[in-house]
Every structure is written in structure tokens, then in C-alpha cells.
Structure 1
Amino acid sequence: MDTRDAPSRSSRRPSTTDGAGITSGSLARRLGISPTTLRSWDRRYSLGPARRDEGRHRRWSPRDVAMIEEMCRLTASGVPPAEAARVVKEHNADARPSAAEPFGEESTDVPAATGSPAVPPGTVRAECRGLIRAALRLDSGAVQERLNGFVRTYGVIAAWEELMMPTLHAVGRKWETSGDRYVEVEHLLSWHVSTALRNAPFLLGLPGTNGDDSSVLLACVPGEQHTLPLEAVHAALLQAGRPARMLGAAVPADALVSTVRRTGPAAVLLWSQARSLANTPLAQHLLQSTWGPQGARQQPRLYLAGPGWRGATVDRAVQPAGLREAVALLAADSR
């Protein structure tokens, strides 16, 4: 299965009540990217505003903003810029609202995790900057301390959406614009993000699951190595009190089907980062998998998440629009 501005969600959406849209500078500040990046995306991929005022000043409409937000989410989740731009333009040409990249932006109609306080205004930007500086110094201790503290204070979903993804996005842009430099920074940051997500139950003082982890199964499609979004789902489910079984990266098709039949999960979430790896036949096969006694066979509910599944059609499969929606649906299925 996104993707990740530093400001809080409530302050990110620009005001366009006058119908004139906003300037490139305002949009860049709100999304935590540089005006140079906006110009580069416009020049290279034709992802510019539909309207230009006199003097060629750019004015970004709500639809333009949604397009750039989706570009940010996709590139932050590891999709190459050219591929991300193609997906964004394809969605825009279909005249569909810009859907949240799975596990990036919250779904506004799903409540936040119980007991997770709102992030105070200004906190996220300061935390992101501090985390970026620590990562650039390769200061492992400081990176982990900041990530752990944010998870402990605000919960998994807020940590993923407000701190982890914006910072990964920023480091990725720095690497993209500086040749092969900073790749070690991204690797270090990814490692510690994964550590914080896996340690979330301990950081939040969550009770044990008593070994009951059979209701939800999480796995990457064969060949898929990007696991961070799936780890965020796992940690958020645990925070919501819903145990899950995590298989992780690049699960062979036979092993996945065998696990479904052996464990009988109520729901399976299958993550694909790249379109080339999204395995529609496997998804269809999973939907046909059954277990239980003759005459009372059961089948799993299948969720397809990640940018790799965009445009795929699998009957009876659900494609959640964001981390909150995915957690809410999976938690309901696990009851």
C-alpha cells in the first residue's frame, strides 16, 4: 500500500474561499516542500496549476492542491516521481477526487484511536525538523528517542501520518535532489521508524494479546519489500485492541494461501507498493479460499492496499483510502 507534510492536517488545507486559489509559495509552505520542487514537477511532468493570473503568477485551485498532495504521498511512499506523476495525471483525467494514498492521509469520517490526544499546533513541524536534523547527523539515539516519544504521546496513527511519513518524504527529496548522497540517512531513518512501530505496544503500555492473533492477516504480495505501511497497520491495530498476524515482506503465493487456510483469518490485507507486483490472480484466489467444516465453510474478507493496486479491479475486495479507514474496517472484521 501513500505520504506527508509537516504541518498538522487541520492547518494543511489552504483556504480558497475567494475562488482565486493560492500561490505556489503558500502551497509549498503548507505541504512542506520547496517552490523549486513544484516548478520541477510542472516542467517535467506537467503537474502545474490550471490557472495562471496576469504576470504568469500561479494560482492553485483545490483540485490542483489535491493533485500535488497525491504526488507527495506517492513519492514519499517510495514510488518514483515519473510513475507517481503518471498515476496522478491518470486519476485527474478521470475527474475523480484525489484519493488518499493508502496509509498516508487520514480518512476524515473515521474517528481517531481512543485515548490518542490531538497534536498541538506547531508541534509537528518542530518535531519533523528535529528528527530530520538527527537523521542527517546519523544520531541513532536521538532519532529513536524522538520517534518513541511521539508514539508514546500521540499514538501510532498520529505518529505515522504527522511525523514518520513527512520526515521520510523530506529525506527522500533530499536524496533525490543530491545524487547518491543521503541514502544512508534514509536507511537509518527507515530502520528506526520500523523499530518504533514494532515497539509501539511497549511504548503505549498495551496489554498482551494472549496468543490470539488469528483474526487479521497482514502480508506483502510476492516480491514486495516495502513493509513500513504494513507495520503501521499492525501497530495501529494493536493500539485499537485488535490482534493481527504479520507475515511481512515478499510472501510467496503458496505460503500465503496455505496460511489463510491453516489459520482461517476473518480478514486479509495484502500490500503492494508497485503496480508491477500487484497480483490480481492471487487476490482472486484468496477470495475463493475456504476453511472450516463441510457445510459451514468460511472465506476471508480481502483488503487491497498500496499504490500498486490503483486501477485494479477485484470483485468483493475492498481498497481502504487511508490508514484510519483500514484500521477501522479490519478492527470491525476481527470482532
Structure 2
Amino acid sequence: MDGQGGAVPGTAWTPGAVARMLGVSPTTLRTWDRRYGLGPSSRTSGNHRRYTTEDLERLRRVVAGIAKGLAPAAAAATALGDPPPPEPPPGAAEPGDGGPGIGAADAKPARRGFLRAAHRLDEPLMRAAAVDLITRHGVVEAWQHVFTPVLVELGRRAAARGRGVEAEHLASAAILHALRGVPFPDERGRLAALLSCAPDEQHVLPLEALGAALSERGATWRNLGARLPALALLDAVDKLRPASVVVWAHREDIARQVPLDELVDRFDAVVTVGGAGWGAVTTPPGVVRPTSVEDAVRVVLEATGR
């Protein structure tokens, strides 16, 4: 072993190497090991655990099953050759699959811990906390009940004190790291969603949260990022022909730069807008305004016929 996550010739891989090959986080691998028995089955002479080729193939089947819409528990059971677990009752969800709701007993301590870590500029701790929240509760619950309140509070503190914006920036970076650890589904058929900021809009994190939540549901997406010119958005929609287009703007003057009329008239995509900037903007008929990340996920899935 070279110590850098490479393969033991012909036999075994480190957890880090397997996480990179599958596009998942090491935390996710540990969770699957603990919950479903999908951990490494080999050991080196130094007693370090390693994934065999068979282990890796099982995990590939799990990732493929999740990308097709299976819950991780069902995907794991299928990969192991076991009967899938019974469907949960209506309204219930498996931890980490869009998660059970984060109750006050969980959300408040999580927010306090995140704020303390942000105050200390402890980005590694914030990264670990963000990954754990997504793994246990899913993107939507983590975003709505922990990440957003934390970022709002950090922004409030920075504005009140005239200092401290560095804590907000590091918290955003840690959350972004965790969101990007959610594996992308395989791209088959029509792209489900094309995400974009409005021209001059720099706040891209809400779109990253939406993208990660879509990945959890097996829906494909691409994010064009911040400050995208209007013409570039039209060109991208023309090339990709997605089922839906989601445009984010946090200020009215920025929102008004988006070519909504052209998007609606030229393409058959469901046009969706999000962010506070759209509050006073009159949008063309047919443009959808979700009220939350969860609502936006629903709109995108409905646009794909799901």
C-alpha cells in the first residue's frame, strides 16, 4: 500500500480510495458499514481494514440502486441478496434518505455546536457536523433546520458587530463540502433540472442544497453557478433541454435581469424561480415559485413525471 488510498495490487482498497471511486463521502461508507454490514471484509498484515473487489462491486450496486430511486436500506438489501425491508408507513423516512424530521431536541444542539465551531473558525469540525447531519437526516432537513438558521445567525452577528464575516464564509464552505459529498445519480434520459443564479447573483449555496437534495432522490441536475449572463442561460437551456430550469435571486434588481419571458416562450421546461428577490416581481404565467428546497424538489420531480 502506498498510503495514498491506492489499491493493494489485485486485492484490496482503502476506504478513502473506495469513497473516491464511488463518489461518496467516507462518512457515508462508515454509515453503510454500521447499518447494513457493507464494510470492508479484508485486512492487511497490519490489521488495517480493506475493501475487496467483491466489496466494491456490492457498493457499486448500492449506489446504482439509490440513483434509480431506491432507499439505501433497500439498495443495500438488494446488493447483499436479501429481501428488501418493508416499506415505511406514510410520512416516515429512513435516516439519511431525506431523513426523519429533526426535532427541537436535535436541531437546537446542532445549531449551537455549529455556531461555536464557526466562532472558533473550526472548519474541520463544521465539515464533520454537516456531513453527519446530511447522513442522518437528509439534505432537506439539515438545510431547513440547521444550515439555514446558522447562516442567518452568523450574518446577523456580523452585521451587528461590523466584523465576523470570516466565520460565515467558513461555515458556508463547510456546508458546501458536505452537500457536494452527496453522490450524483447516473445521467440517463432527459436532464431533470438546470440550476442557475441570476445575472450578478453570487449566492450559490441554496442551489447547491437543491442539487444535493435532488441527488438524494435520483434526479439529475447541473448547476451553472453564480453571476450567469442572461444570454448564457438561454444558450445552456437550448443545448441541454432540461425538464425544469431553476433560477435563484436574492434581490429584486438582480431578479429582473432574468429573461423569464424568453425562457417560457422558447422552451418546454418548467421555469422555477427562488429567493427573496422575486417577492415583488410579476412573473409570466406558468412560472413556479417554490416556498422551500423541499417544495422545489417536488416541482422538479413533477416536471420529470415522477
TM-score by length of 1: 0.60
Q: For structure 1, which runs of at least 5 residues remain unmatched after alignment?
A: 1-110, 202-206, 291-298
Query: Any stretches of 5+ residues in structure 2 without a counterpart?
Result: 1-90
Conserved? CA contact 2:249–2:276, under 8 Å: yes
Q: What is the deviation of 1:279?
A: 2.5
Return structure 1 stretches of 4+ with deviation > 4 angstroms.
111-114
Alignment of 1:108-119 (within 5 A): 115=97, 116-119=99-102
Structure-2 separation of matches of 1:311 and 1:325: 20
Shift in Å, 1:308: 0.6
Separation of aligned partners in 2, 1:112 and 1:275: 38
For residues 265-289 of structure 1, what are the alpha-carbon distances to aligned partners after superposition, in whole Å with 9 as ceiling and x for unaligned?
1111111111110136601111112
Asked whether 1:283 is paired with 2:271, we answer no
CA distance in 2, matches of 1:213, 1:124: 37
Q: Which residue of 2 aligns with 1:99?
A: none
| Residue of structure 2 in register with 1:314 after alignment | 283
- AA partner of residue 274 (structure 2): A
Separation (CA, whole Å) in 2 of partners of 1:126 and 1:272: 31
The higher relative CO (CA closer than 8 Å, separation ≥ 6) is in 1
Structure 2 residue aligned with 1:304: 273
Question: Could you tell me the percent identity over the aligned residues?
Answer: 33
Instruction: Please say if 1:129 is aligned against 2:112.
Output: yes
- CA–CA distance in structure 2, aligned partners of residues 121 and 310 of structure 1: 29
Kindly report which structure 2 residues correspond to 1:175-186, keeping only aligned pairs within 5 A, or say none: 175-179=158-162, 181-186=163-168
CA distance in 1, matches of 2:170, 2:176: 10
Output the CA distance in 2 between the equivalents of 1:169 and 1:153. Answer: 23
Indicate whether 1:170 and 2:153 are aligned.
yes
Question: Does 2:176 match 1:194?
Answer: yes
Q: 1:149 aligns with which of 132, 149, 174?
A: 132
Kindly state the Cα deviation for residue 175 of structure 1 after the two structures are TM-superposed: 1.0
Where 1:147 maps in the other structure, the secondary structure is helix
Q: CA deviation at 1:245?
A: 1.5
Q: 1:213 to 1:231 in 2, by over 3 A?
A: farther
- The Cα shift of 1:331 comes to 1.1
Asked if structure 2 preserves the Cα contact closer than 8 Å seen for 1:213 and 1:244, the reply is: no
1:330 CA displacement: 0.7
Matched residue pairs, number? 212
- Please report the RMSD computed on the Cα atoms of aligned residues, expressed in angstroms: 2.0
Whole-Å Cα distance in 1 between the matches of residues 248 and 221 of structure 2? 15
Distance 1:310 1:162 in 2: 23
2:195 aligned with 1:218? yes
